[in-house]
Amino acid sequence: MAKTKTTFFCQNCGTQYPKWIGQCSSCKQWNTIVEEVVQKEEKRTWKTDSNAVKKVTKPVRISQISNEKELRLDTQDQEFNRVLGGGIVPGSLILLGGEPGIGKSTLLLQIALKLAYKTLYVSGEESQKQIKMRADRIHPESENCYILTETKTQNIFQHISTVEPDLVIIDSIQTLHTDYIESAAGSISQIRESTAELIKFAKESSTPVILVGHITKDGAIAGPKILEHMVDTVLQFEGDRNYVYRILRSLKNRFGSTAELGIYEMQGSGLREVNNPSEVLISKNDQDLSGTAIASTVEGMRPLLIEIQALVSTAVYGTPQRSATGFNAKRLNMLLAVLEKRAGFKLAAKDVFLNITGGISVDDPAIDLAVLAAILSSNSDIPIEKGVCFAAEVGLAGEIRPVQRIDQRILEAEKLGFTAIYVSKNNKIGLKNTSINVQLVSKIEDVVKSLF
């Protein structure tokens, strides 16, 4: 038995210290330094079989490495596949984070039940009967899903050797503990060591592993920041528990784009894939309302039509308010300054509130023109005609600038029944014989004259 050694870790950021101090010098948090016992012991590999063949890695010339496309596991969930970049890569480690009660366990159990591959769902938070009750609501008939309630990693690996699954789901990484570390489950040392063992298992056996991670009150994944560096993909499951829609986005992805977006609707029978996001993001109002405009945006490879709402009113308390939900507040101030300087609209003494419906945040500059149209519509209290949408960036000189992938945006607007779309005159449009009326504009004044 090796000598027992104690070290001090910050429970917030994972920084290690030789002795206890009151404030962490890295994240500046108080009273987060705790003592943990680290026992130095010779570690065995995840595979306890003594007959296991040890793989020796040798340097290989880059021209000799095969570049054949690796087959991915199809999850039978188009939204999940899209965010991952086409499916689960064998041997990859995926970390899924989100607020409590948002639906992380439901999403992964749903994938495990519908997969055609053998799946081992390991839960350290719920009993087998609780998981069975949820499974009966989602997908009662499944022969390929195995449920295990265990928190000790050594026991989990023994069951993995018996079942030999094609996919392993761990719910959650904060509940696991290993014999090689004597600190409590959920501590910095336990999370780091348990994740390292799972990575070793995933890479040696080419079995993908999905981890559920708790988040802190700040919205970051709980545990050391090194956890996000160790895994291959970090997914964030977002949404308000008071609403039925959930958004899955990628924060890090070694095998695909981080710009993709997946949208789900929470129902009693699980999460429904929303293949047409515009049904979520555009309200079905029969009345003509001022202050609303439709923008054609692109998230990753997917075109979306989103509704932008603006409210312009006279400031009551002297200093006007500028508030934006789902849109960059600094960019809103910039666009208001452009309206004031270039188009002559006096908005300096008025409150401006902006909201992107559906609870999503958009960084695409192509929604600038729709934001300005919504603000002008609310200011003059004149509704924009139905069937009109916008796709253009606005410059500081008041010019309408071109945006990327304009053909895809126009086709999406046409598919959803829009009759006109305002785009930049400098955009190169390759489409011909389209039923939608493409309005080419070069300045804000052209838009104002045409709309109002």
What is the sign, positive or negative, of the torsion defined by CA atoms of 155, 161, 162, 167?
positive
Q: pLDDT of 108-117, one tens digit each? A: 999 999 888 8
CA of residue 104 relative to chain centroid, distance = 12
410 CB neighbour count, 10 Å cutoff: 24
Quickly state the pLDDT bin for 51 (edges 50, 70, 90).
very low
Q: CA-CA distance, 374 to 346, in Å (whole number)?
A: 16
Residue with the two structure tokens 């000189």: 397
pLDDT in tens, 85-118: 889 999 999 999 988 888 999 999 999 998 888 9
Per-residue pLDDT at 319 exceeds 90: no
pLDDT confidence band for 55 (50 / 70 / 90): low
Element (H, E) at 247: strand 245-253
In CATH, 280-451 is 3.10.20.30: no
Q: Looking at residues 241-254, what average pLDDT do you find?
A: 83
Question: What region does 185 belong to: left with phi over 0, alpha with psi -120 to 50, or beta?
Answer: beta
How much is the pLDDT for 109? 93
Q: Read off the pLDDT of residues 159-188 as tens digits, 9 standing for 90 and up.
A: 999 999 999 999 889 899 888 887 778 788
Q: For 241-255, what is the mean pLDDT? A: 84
Confidence at 370, pLDDT banded by 50, 70, 90: very high
Q: How far apart are CA 118 and CA 112, in angstroms?
A: 8
Q: How far apart are CA 12 and CA 355, in angstroms?
A: 33
Q: Where are the domains of the chain?
A: 1-40, 74-273, 280-451
Q: Render pLDDT for 417-447 as a digit per residue (tens, 0 to 9).
A: 889 999 999 988 887 778 899 999 999 988 8
Q: How far is CA 91 from CA 116, 200, 203, in A?
A: 18, 9, 5
| Number of C-beta neighbours around residue 165 at 10 A | 24
Which residues, other chains included, contact 383 with Cβ-Cβ below 8 Å and sequence gap of 6+? 288, 289, 290, 292, 377
What's the rounded mean pLDDT across residues 266-292?
A: 80
Q: How far apart are CA 116 and CA 76, in angstroms?
A: 8
Give the mean pLDDT of the chain.
Answer: 86
Residue 322's H or E segment, with its range, is strand 322-325
Per the annotation, where are the binding residues?
Answer: 98-105
CA angle 12, 174, 28 (to 5 degrees): 0
**What is the average pLDDT across 375-383?**
92
Binding-site members for ATP are 98-105
d(CA 168, CA 432): 49
Backbone angles phi, psi at 154, to 5 degrees: -60, -40
Q: Which CATH architecture has domain 74-273?
A: 3-Layer(aba) Sandwich (3.40)
Q: What are phi and psi of 160, to 5 degrees?
A: -65, -40
| Four-point Cα dihedral 329, 334, 339, 341, nearest 10 | 150
Please state, in angstroms and as integers, the Cα–Cα distance from residue 409 to each residue in 199, 249, 282, 379, following that order: 41, 21, 16, 27
